[in-house]
């Protein structure tokens, strides 16, 4: 299988969702499916066992499992992935779909990493400082941070951590000595 297969699935799904003008719903449903499969080992095992079934039966079972909360295009994609034992692609498809959605909608993807869990008030204050336009913010805890934070905007790092500031200071001092 192609290493970029998840991109092909994401682009195809995005095209279908865009035609129907429901890209936000597809993203929401795809994210929910990914979270369900990640958190529910029984569901994942059940879907893996379905791969031996006829494709129509797989579609029927997946449609029944997710009900009306899952668009037909997603049900069909899931059935195809299940039938071909490629469920591991679902998180990659979701991330690629999300990236397409954010790029198209002009939404900035921010990941803010801190050394500890932040309160809602702290999150609001940090968001005020870094969000200049529509943004999707994910907060993460990075245990290797001593203090400060790291901000990844669309994959580009701006390091406001204590270690980052010390590294900048060291580079400035080394630069002056040369």
Extents of the domains making up the chain = 5-103, 108-177
pLDDT at 46 exceeding the cut of 90: no
- The secondary structure of 110-156 as a DSSP string is EEEEESSPPPHHHHHHHHHHH-SSSEEEEEEE-TT--SSEEEEETTE
pLDDT at 142 exceeding the cut of 80: yes
Residue scoring higher pLDDT (177 or 99)? 99
Distance in angstroms (rounded) separating the CA atoms of residues 146 and 162: 6
Confidence tier at 98 by pLDDT (50, 70, 90):
very high
Is 65 within 8 Å of 40 (Cβ atoms)? no
pLDDT at 19 exceeding the cut of 90: yes
Residue scoring higher pLDDT (51 or 105)? 105
What pLDDT does residue 177 have? Answer: 63
- Region 39-61: what's the mean pLDDT? 83
For the whole prediction, is pTM greater than 0.85? no
Q: Which range among 36-40, 82-86, 122-126 shows the weakest confidence by mean pLDDT? A: 36-40
Of the CATH numbers 1.10.357, 1.25.40, 1.10.520, 3.40.50, which one belongs to the domain with range 5-103?
A: 1.10.520
Distance in angstroms (rounded) separating the CA atoms of residues 9 and 156: 25
What pLDDT does residue 139 have? Answer: 92
Percent of the chain with pLDDT over 90: 31
């Amino acid at each position: 299988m192609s290493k970029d297969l998840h991109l092909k699935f994401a682009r195809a799904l995005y095209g279908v969702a865009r035609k129907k003008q429901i890209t936000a719903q597809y993203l929401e449903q795809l994210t929910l499916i990914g979270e369900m499969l990640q958190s529910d080992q029984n569901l994942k095992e059940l879907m893996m066992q379905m791969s031996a079934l006829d494709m129509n039966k797989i579609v029927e079972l997946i449609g029944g499992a997710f009900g009306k909360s899952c668009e037909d295009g997603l049900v069909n994609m899931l059935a195809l992935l299940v039938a071909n034992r490629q469920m591991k692609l679902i998180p990659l498809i979701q991330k690629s779909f999300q990236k397409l959605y954010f790029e198209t909608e002009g939404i900035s993807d921010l990941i803010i990493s801190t050394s500890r869990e932040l309160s809602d008030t702290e999150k609001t204050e940090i968001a005020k400082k870094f969000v200049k336009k529509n943004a999707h913010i994910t907060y993460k805890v990075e245990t290797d941070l001593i203090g400060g934070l790291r901000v990844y905007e669309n994959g580009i790092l701006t390091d406001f951590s204590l270690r980052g500031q010390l590294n900048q200071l060291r580079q400035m001092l080394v630069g002056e000595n040369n």
